[in-house]
Amino acid sequence: MRAVYRHAGRGLVVCCAAIGIVIAGCSKAGSPRNAPPASAMPPRTFELAGFLASRPTPVDSPAVADLLAARDLSSRFELPPPPPTTLFVPPDGFRVAAVAPRGDRIALLRELDPDTTEVLLHDRARGETRLLLPLDRDGRFLPQRFSADGKRLYLFTDEGGDTLQLEILDPDTGERSRRARPGCEALRLDVSPDGNVDALQWSCRGAVESALFDSTTGEELGPLPLPQGTRPARALPAGRSGGVLYEAASARLPRDLLFADRLAADAEARPLTFGLAPALAAGDLVDPIPVELRVAGASSVAPIPAELWWPRRTGAAPPALIWLENDVLPPTWMEFHPFLQFLANRGVAVVRLRLRGSLGFGKRFRHAADGRLVDAGLEDLDAARAELALRGADPARIAVLGEGPWSGGLAAAALVERPGRFVAVAALGGDSDPLRMHDELPALVEPARSWWLTRLGDPATEVVRRDRARMRLLADPTRSPLFRSDDPAANADSTAAIAALWGFLSTHLAVPP
């Protein structure tokens, strides 16, 4: 099948493509020694609203029903029903994780520590609650949903492995089957209303992948028709007899909604949205590329996954920004990011990474900095800076942005402990004392408290007290603004916050007069 996907005067070719990621290569910049003189940053007036207006519509948005109806598709696709209303008081420490469609079975979850959970099954018909998992060894077991008939429980688990994988459990017999994707961490599961088709998302070292499966056999279904240069990021299938609503993602376009009349590569695809703001030209945007950062002098440390946004047109050593991502949300790299695209369009190279000790890349990665979280974070920053300098960025104009309390605090510490290496830092949603939770979290609040104890160590020890003091060092406020977590402008989606960040960065990354 070959058709044209048009919107607002643009055309994108829809082709039958295998599920995967299309990434354009990025050659290293030439030696700064041979490059023409660097130019000053663009003026601080800019069309930022155009970038931030490019917002996607997710497959489960309430707006989807209207989008389908406007194209006369509502009779061919039904959104899944809301979960049943169930009156149930879980035992202390547990929360409701999944409810069977008829409300007769409830999966309950308790997090014991960062690596261990317990799952109970409450059977309302029998009036009993019993331990479901773990049985013979500990791990993380995260119930997602029951099957349409309530006889199977879908869950994510890292039992016996490093990353979360999908398992399907029969609570009556204990039979378990795993659908693994090695090296990737399961993110989200959607099931068609008739229970016949599963749509699964993974994070594969930051890049999101998705696939459709036959719920009964586990067979992976064929690829969906996609606009050229995109990939499916999330799907909501109607079932074997219906179509599928899915999000197409790429680095140059926000996630757009498409509808295919059936699950086949030659299906008819109908676009429902086009998220790129009219003021932007897709041809001017850049493609991020995956990179692996290596810590100097530490051959035993595994490479740190990251993504690089390199300006398309730069004749000189460009300024650069190291973006330390907040790990509260799952990573979604190699996709359109309004502010990172905005920076690259204005000549700023960006490396985005998660520090060792973060969530999102499996068990080994989140324990890779246990007991030395501050020093490991500074080493990761050094590795990112070295990568940028190697590719031709101006080493005198590299700034750091820390997203969230911990990354923001580490960025401020780097300005003090790595004098001369970073021209400026900024903390978005930061905290003047990112370790205050040691004081505020009671002993019974798990796994948050044990998570910090595991990563940092006992707060009563001299080593941890010293690390805490390092994180509370006050950097020069003219070179390190703190957008506090309780400040409305600290919201990463806030135009005011991004505008303030750009004003700050453009000042410090400009060529000195």
Contact between 206 and 307 under an 8 Å Cβ cutoff? The reply is yes
Please answer whether residues 237 and 193 qualify as being in contact, where contact means their C-beta atoms are separated by less than 8 angstroms: no
Two structure tokens written together for 261:
């009349």
pLDDT of residue 177: 93
Length of the chain: 513
pLDDT of residue 178: 92
pLDDT string in tens for the chain (513-residue length): 333 344 333 333 333 332 222 222 233 333 333 444 444 555 444 467 777 777 788 888 888 888 988 888 876 666 666 766 767 888 988 999 999 988 999 999 998 888 899 999 999 989 999 999 998 778 999 999 999 889 999 999 999 999 999 999 999 999 999 999 999 999 999 888 778 888 899 999 888 888 888 888 888 887 788 888 888 888 888 766 578 889 999 988 889 999 988 877 788 889 999 888 877 777 778 999 999 999 998 888 999 999 999 998 766 899 999 999 988 788 889 999 888 998 998 889 999 999 999 988 999 999 999 888 899 999 999 999 999 999 999 999 999 999 887 888 888 889 889 999 999 888 887 666 776 766 666 655 666 667 777 777 777 788 888 887 887 766 666 777 665 545 554 555 567 777 778 888 888 888 764
Secondary-structure class of domain 286-509 per CATH: alpha beta
Domain ranges across the chain: 64-271, 286-509
pLDDT score at 31: 38
Tell me whether domains 64-271 and 286-509 share a fold. no
Cβ atoms of 490 and 497 closer than 8 Å: yes
* 495: phi then psi, degrees, rounded to nearest 5: -60, -40
Give CATH superfamily name and number for 64-271.
Prolyl oligopeptidase, N-terminal domain (2.130.10.120)
- Kindly provide the residue ranges of all beta strands, DSSP E only, lying in 313-439, ordered along the sequence: 320-324, 349-353, 398-403, 424-430
**Residue 194: predicted pLDDT:** 79
pTM reported for the whole predicted model = 0.84
Nearest to 79, CA basis, from 247, 188, 194: 194
What is the pLDDT, as a whole number, of residue 41?
55
The percent helix, strand, coil of the chain (3-state, each to 5) is 20, 30, 50
Tell me the C-alpha distance between 284 and 270, whole Å. 26
CA angle 39, 42, 47 (to 5 degrees): 160
pLDDT confidence of residue 20: 26
Query: Taking Cα atoms as reference points, which of 242, 258, 204, 273 lies closest to residue 17?
Result: 258
The confidence score (pLDDT) of residue 78 equals 66
